[in-house]
């Protein structure tokens, strides 16, 4: 029975394709916003790290100029340096974890884009085939 499915978007030429196109657009907008949030979060994490680096460079300058770190004892100075090194090491580890996480998310995003593009291509081919078949049937009816 021709025209039975005309109430849905599937019956319209390009309906499923347009729906898939809108889904891809929404997905890309969501991923872009999420990426920007992550970028802001990373920038905020860099601030404490730069403060630690400033403290270390100041301590080194004091050490070079005065011959001491400005602390009461060598043990205290060593403890401060060790703590700063630990904090820098932790910061580097966090940055590495975040880099790996971003790479994995980017890989997943690209895979999802590829999947959606392939799905859109298949739907488009299916709709083109259906339209060609309908045209063929219509041509046959006109000949008879």
Looking at the predicted structure, is the pLDDT value of residue 128 above 80? yes
Provide mean pLDDT across the span 74-99: 90
Token readout for 112 is 């999802």
Find out whether 116 and 25 touch, Cβ atoms under 8 Å.
no
Find out whether 123 and 17 touch, Cβ atoms under 8 Å.
yes
Q: Is the pTM of this model over 0.75?
A: no
User: Where in the chain are the domains?
Assistant: 19-111
Give which of 29, 86, 14, 4 is closest to 52, Cα–Cα. 86
DSSP state of 112: H
pLDDT in tens, 36-57: 888 888 777 766 666 677 777 7
Give which of 1, 5, 97 is closest to 42, Cα–Cα. 97
HEC assignment per residue over 43-93: HHHHHHHHHHHHHHHHHHHHHHHHCCCCCCCHHHHHHHHHHHHHHHHHHHH
Token readout for 25 is 């657009």
């Amino acid at each position: 029975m021709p025209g039975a499915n005309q109430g849905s978007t599937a019956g319209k030429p390009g309906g499923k394709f347009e729906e898939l196109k809108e889904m891809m657009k929404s997905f890309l907008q969501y991923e872009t916003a999420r990426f920007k949030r992550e970028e802001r979060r990373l920038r905020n994490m860099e601030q404490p790290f730069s403060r630690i680096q400033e403290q270390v460079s100041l301590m080194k300058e004091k050490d070079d100029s005065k011959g001491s770190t400005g602390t009461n004892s060598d043990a205290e100075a060593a403890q401060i340096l060790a703590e700063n090194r630990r904090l820098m090491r932790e910061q580097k580890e966090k940055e590495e974890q975040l880099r790996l996480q971003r790479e994995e998310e980017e890989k997943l995003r690209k895979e999802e884009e590829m999947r959606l593009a392939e799905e859109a291509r298949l739907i488009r081919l299916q709709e083109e085939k259906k339209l060609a078949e309908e045209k063929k049937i219509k041509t046959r009816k006109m000949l008879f």
